[in-house]
Amino acid sequence: MTAQGVKSSYWTGVRDGAPFLLVIVPFAMLFGVLATEAGLNPAEALAFSVVVIAGAAQFTALQLLQDHAPILVVLASSLAVNLRMAMYSASLTPHLGHLPLWQRGVAAYFLVDQTYALAVIKYEKEPQLSRAEKFAYFVGTLTPICPFWYVFTVVGALVGATIPPEWGLDFAMPIAFIAMIGPALRTGAHMTAALVASVAALTFAFLPYNLGLLISAGLGMAAGAEVERRVGAA
Amino acid sequence: MIDRGDLWIVIVALGLGSFALRFVFLGLVGDRPMPAWLMRHLRYTAVAVLPALVIPLVVWPSATDGETDPVRLAAATVTLAASYFLRNVIVAMLLGGLVLAGGGYWLG
């Protein structure tokens, strides 16, 4: 482990994370815009983004708050959307679990879809990286992502409702997530997992409180794991 | 209008809950080895959760009140194909965005 390796891992992370600015900026602005429309002021929108720092859960909570759903339903649904974070946490544990507690705390707070996706792919490809290099890479990936999530939430809140709906900003998140799926479909097991999860998500979409998402993710993971167990392909 | 008390309860509780979910394994399990069956399942987290999260949004977009929209469907298909074959996230997103913008322009 060298200081140079740590530094270069950090900058590799920054470089890998930078393209996600194109997603984070419109997505954060969209949250700011929708928060304003829901009656939140820019400070409240910013608090949402800083404290929760999870796009899909923020949108879910905002929607349900507007619908005047009971607080417990708002929390249960939004946390269900974020259950995947626990899976992210578990899957990064073999790589980051032996870091000092404060670094694990930092990694946990900044564990979002984009930083997770970049980190897990990097760690699988280059398992020889030292723990310091792995942490530096993670901090690198969040540098061009998380601060901009905060800043552009405020920009969106200030811009307010002036963005025309024809821009299709609503579809920025699906496009971003889909773009992340393709490269992850490395084996038949991965494809089976994705296919089973997709079919299940459409089948169970009628279930309330995002239960469909949880069930589908569980089924997809089980399908992938089963294919791997039979074929032996990791 | 959203009640201010409700809003702050949700922001704080959701923040704490989300952090707890993110911290649970990283912080509490630490470097103890994880069982093989668990790791085998966790390898497929991303490829299971992301499609499950995204496909209802593609098929029933909220912006059209849940009505299937050929432009968004085409944009999603192009993005997936591009990201799979080119293995390039950003190019895939740009192509998907182009289809979305172009389709919206020609059909909208």
Asked if A68 contacts A176 with a C-beta cutoff of 8 angstroms, the reply is no
Domain boundaries, chain B: 1-32, 38-107
Tell me which residue range forms the domain holding A7: 3-168
* Residues on chain B touching A48 (C-beta within 8 angstroms): 11
* Domain shared by A72 and A126, yes or no: yes
Q: Looking at CA atoms only, how far is residue B41 from chain A in angstroms?
A: 5
Task: Tell me what the mean pLDDT of segment A123-146 comes to.
Answer: 94
Chain A residues 137-196 with a CB less than 8 Å from chain B: 165-166, 168, 170-171, 173-185, 189-191, 193-196
What pLDDT, in 10s, does the model give residues B70-94? 999 999 999 999 999 998 877 898 8
Q: Do B47 and A94 touch (CB under 8 A)?
A: no
Residue B107 vs residue B18, higher pLDDT: B18
* Domain shared by A110 and A224, yes or no: no
Nearest CA in chain A to B44: A221
Task: Taking the CA atoms of A11, A25, B11 and B59 in sequence, report the sign of the dihedral they define.
Answer: negative
Q: Please report, for residues A2, A95, A132, A203, B94, the alpha-carbon distance to residue A5 in angstroms, rounded to integers and kept in the order given.
A: 5, 17, 9, 47, 32
Task: Tell me what the mean pLDDT of segment A74-82 comes to.
Answer: 79
* Domain shared by A135 and A87, yes or no: yes
Question: Is the pTM of the predicted complex or chain greater than 0.80?
Answer: no
* Domain shared by A189 and A229, yes or no: yes
pLDDT of res. B81: 97
Chain B residues 52-71 with a CB less than 8 Å from chain A: 52-63
The dihedral over CA atoms of A87, A89, A91, A96, expressed in degrees to the nearest 10, equals 180
Asked whether residue A178 is assigned to any structural domain, the reply reads: no
Asked if A114 contacts A20 with a C-beta cutoff of 8 angstroms, the reply is yes
Nearest CA in chain B to A18: B90
Which amino acid appears at position A165 of this protein?
P
**pLDDT at residue A115 above 90?**
yes
* Domain shared by A118 and A194, yes or no: no
Region of B65 (left: φ > 0; alpha: ψ -120 to 50; beta: rest) is left
For the residues of A135-192, what is the DSSP string, one character each? Answer: HHHHHHHHTTTHHHHHHHHHHHHHHGGGS-GGG-GGGHHHHHHHHHHHHH--SHHHHH
**Which candidate in B4, B8, B21, B29 is best for mutational testing of the A interface (most A CBs within 10 A)?**
B21
* Domain shared by A163 and A206, yes or no: no
**pLDDT at residue A234 above 60?**
no
Here the ipTM equals: 0.79
pLDDT of res. B35: 80
Q: Looking at CA atoms only, how far is residue B76 from chain A in angstroms?
A: 6
Task: Measure the N-to-C terminal CA separation of chain A; round to a whole number of Å.
Answer: 28
